[in-house]
Amino acid sequence: MIARKKLLRPSQSSNRLNAPVAVLAVLAILSLGGHAQAKSGQDQFVRQTARAKAILAQMTLDEKVGQLIQVERAALKDPSDVEKYYLGSVFNGAGSGVAGDIKTLPPWSDVTQAIQTRALSTRLHIPLLYGTDSIHGNNNVPGATIFPHNIGLGATHDPAIVRKLERVSAEETLAVGFNWAFAPCVTVPQDYHWGRTYEGYAQDPALVAKLGGAAVEGLQGKNLANGEAVMACVKHFAADGGTEGGHDQGDAKIDEATMRRVHLPGYVSAIQAGAGTIMPSFSSWNGLKVSANKHLMTDILKKDLGFEGFLISDWNAIDQLGGDYKSQAELSLNAGMDMFMITDKYRLFFDNVKALVTEGKVPQSRIDDAVLRILRVKLAMGLMDKGYSVAPNPKLQAKFGSAEHRQIARQAVRESLVLLKNEKKTLPIAKTIARIHICGRGGDDIGMQCGGWTLSWQGQMGPVPGGTSILDAVKKAVSPGTKVTYSKDGTGAEGATLGIVVVGEIPYSEGPGDRTDLALPQEDKDAIANLKKANIPVVVVLLSGRPMILGDALTQSDAFVAAWLPGTEGAGITDVLFGDYKPTGKLTFPWQRTMEQLPLHYDDKKADPLFAYGYGLTYGK
């Protein structure tokens, strides 16, 4: 078996993060996710490189430039542009449906098949990589199993459940014809003002590395070419969680030692696990956009860390660089970007890059290196093997949103819950209790459970097909004699035996989620206060993408559960509330008392958090 280098913990790291040599990284990427024998992996890599070079030798400049382009499906000006511009990839952006309000699989898979068929009709029959934002399941497609966001998965401290979930994600992603998932995110969030905090597993780089590597293994499986794996895309390289003030797409003002110690271990682990693609961040490092940073993308990632896959830009990322569009393409290409995620400017990009090569501003060798990397990944995935079919696997379609998949997501939910408070043994709740009153904005709202990146970029309140709300989960968990009542505002609880109030953040993602104040909304505070007036035990369940300012919500509760953003399977919450499973989740971020404490760091021995890193109660002793 290929040895996996043990990552250094931050306290052990020196000025340069220990990195695997290039050969080990290559084998990990292209030899069945690092599970094959070293000799077999070496032989396979040599064969795939030889095949890629043979294809490259036949390609015209037009065909090469086309491989560098990934177009958002809805931005295609004409379907025939797939062939005309020899596109290397197409992707569905968040919320980019393919057939209006159609909610069944065939319209999605019909479109992906049609686009892939066009690519295969080109002179060299080079297939597409078809990408999608499978952030927490195949979350663009109605009816998919949606599992907890990464902050919840981090609280499990369990690489096995992360691996299982990403296997589900891979199967449900492939079911509609997508073969490339823009996941996992191995960010290390430093400041909870940031609207993407929930995309990080933890503040400890070692735990991020462990879970990120497991996620790659789950998505890609043991054999990338067996038709049941999707290519992972690790993001967002690097230090996107280290920006000053927690500003999305901001500037990480840190030295290189800190970059390597805090923000790179997740990438080392992902490369060792076999990740073939990495997405550079929108953000900057000491004033320079990552998409233009040759030292970071080429010197550190490709040379020092030995990454032999390819880099894909974020959404229209080069538009944020200086100068006109042609100079932006020149700058990013020469810095090491290999493929470019583009919407409406893809034709202009094609023409500009051809001109840049003709003018000698982008070396032909740089184009050839990028295309070779892309072709090698496609070969590793088996997309160019005899017998490859563009039709989605019917076995995987049958499992889409299945009870089997939802049970795995439910397991993740119950493992992710962190019990912060439990006075007078309020939890677990007896299933034979006389009456439970459910309230709060999240009590009967699956959209709030799921958070952002669910059916649309920002997510939304309200129903999510196939999901179970906390209210419905409570009704299913209790005995037939138990009465369950509900009010959104917490009123009407008089006479109940116990109340459960579900509060927290409404869905958001990226920059729109940046916050200067993380206090609970007044509506949530009022619901807790109204429930408290009934003079009954109060259980607060918090749905959030980061630690919030709890204030009176904590003191007014008898039990308090941090449920993060658990996804569609609300029954995972009631599994713990009613004692079918003891809570096992532990905090992977320290919990601040006030906003003035932010940024709060897990290894700051002088800090006085409300709850420390690693905190989490259970039942009994």
Question: What is the set of active-site residues?
Answer: 314, 510
CA 72 to chain centre: 19
Q: Distance between CA 168 and CA 396 in Å, rounded? A: 10
Q: Name residues whose C-beta falls within 8 Å of residue 82's C-beta, 6 or more positions apart in sequence.
A: 76, 90, 115, 118, 119, 128
Q: Distance between CA 573 and CA 544 in Å, rounded? A: 14
Q: Distance between CA 178 and CA 439 in Å, rounded? A: 39
Task: Give CA torsion, residues 451, 452, 455, 457, to 10 deg.
Answer: 170
Q: Distance between CA 439 and CA 468 in Å, rounded? A: 16
Residue 78, exposed/middle/buried by CB under 10 A (0-12, 13-18, 19+)?
exposed
Token representation of residue 312: 């894909």
Q: Distance between CA 529 and CA 174 in Å, rounded? A: 47
Look up residue 592 and give its DSSP letter: P
Q: Distance between CA 476 and CA 474 in Å, rounded? A: 5
Helix (H, G, I), strand (E, B), or coil: what is residue 329?
helix
Sign of CA dihedral 449, 452, 453, 457: positive
Residue 26 has phi, psi (to 5 degrees) of -60, -45
Q: Are 610 and 562 in contact (CB under 8 A)?
A: no
For the chain, give me the number of helices (H) and strands (E)?
21, 17
CA 9 to chain centre: 23
Q: Considering just the CA atoms, what is the radius of gyration of the chain in Å?
A: 24
